[in-house]
Amino acid sequence: MPVQAHAEEFRSPGSGPDAATGILLSHGFTGSPKSMRPFAEHLAGEGFGVAVPRLPGHGTHWREANTTTWQDWYAVLDNEFERLRKEHERVFLAGLSMGGCLVLRLAEQHGADVAGLVLVNPSVQTDDKRLAALPVLQRFLPSFPGISNDIKKPGVDEGAYDRMPLRALHSLSQLWKVTRDDLAKVTQPVLLFRSTVDHVVEPSSGRTVLSRISSRDVTETLLEDSYHVATLDNDAPRIFADATAFVRRIGTDA
């Protein structure tokens, strides 16, 4: 299927002294690189090498998402991570929502090769009891109405699907479980941003991450003026500035 105009991938090799650092950014479920592009462009402007790949089944049509699994999404990020490792001295990971879960999984698998993580409203579980029926529902029902554009700032469109693909959502629930089970393997420095009002991901996800990781260098920042897609919302400048400072601090310590 053709890729939507807003969903193009973004990469920059970096420049100056900060080019020694690469940063891999992952968008969320049913979204596209559009939600992470301003973040990536800011980091590229600071001189870091950056990459925002498009996850399989995203940025095209929700029906295509139903033909993919979390292993497909992870494989794209894993390949991009290996490329960045070859081109930079150190690599950080950043993820929004499901992207946060995927980069946590990368950190669990790659250990010390990951310099640090920036998580924005990471999704590792849900409190919605209705999803207990997913294993059966996804066999007979292709989609539900979507949840997108949870953004406080007026006039902003993240470009996500207007339908929730249920087979893909079922696979996401499997990713949540394997990631939660291994959270103790996360030892890298973590900067976690959490919106105080989020209509997509419940606060329990952030609490689970913070309570189960083994990282000793952990900062949680509450975002008071943004909803779920905070990378496109009112608090985005704070996320960009704090993430830049975090990456430079950890890179210097290394």
198 catalytic, yes or no?
yes
Provide the domain count of the chain: 1
Is 165 in contact with 137 (CB distance < 8 Å)? Answer: no
Candidate list 32, 143, 171, 198, residue with the active-site label: 198
Local structure of 14: helix, strand or coil = coil
Candidate list 150, 205, 228, 235, residue with the active-site label: 228
Among 221, 254, 224, CA closest to 240 = 221
The whole-model pTM stands at 0.95
- Per the domain annotation, does 199 fall within a domain? yes
Among 215, 225, 224, 219, CA closest to 242 = 219
Query: 18 φ, ψ to 5°?
Result: -80, -5
193 is in an annotated binding site: no
**What is the distance in angstroms between the CA of the first residue and the CA of the last residue of the chain?**
43
Candidate list 35, 97, 123, 171, residue with the active-site label: 97
Burial of 135 (0-12, 13-18, 19+ CB in 10 A): exposed
- Per the domain annotation, does 3 fall within a domain? no
199 catalytic, yes or no?
no
Confidence of residue 144 (pLDDT cuts 50, 70, 90): confident
Query: 23 φ, ψ to 5°?
Result: -130, 125
Beta bridge partners of 193: 120, 221
CB within 8 Å of 170: residues ≥ 6 apart: 134, 135, 138
The domain spanning residue 42 has which CATH number? 3.40.50.1820
Summarised one tens digit per residue, pLDDT across range 25-76 is: 999 999 999 999 999 999 999 999 999 999 999 999 999 999 999 999 999 9
Summarised one tens digit per residue, pLDDT across range 180-224 is: 999 999 999 999 999 999 999 999 999 999 999 999 999 999 999
- Per the domain annotation, does 16 fall within a domain? yes
- Per the domain annotation, does 84 fall within a domain? yes
- Per the domain annotation, does 4 fall within a domain? no
- Per the domain annotation, does 99 fall within a domain? yes
- Per the domain annotation, does 26 fall within a domain? yes
Query: 237 φ, ψ to 5°?
Result: -55, -35
- Per the domain annotation, does 1 fall within a domain? no
pLDDT score at 221: 98
39 is in an annotated binding site: no
DSSP class of residue 147 equals: -
Domain, as residue range, for 246: 10-253
pLDDT score at 235: 98
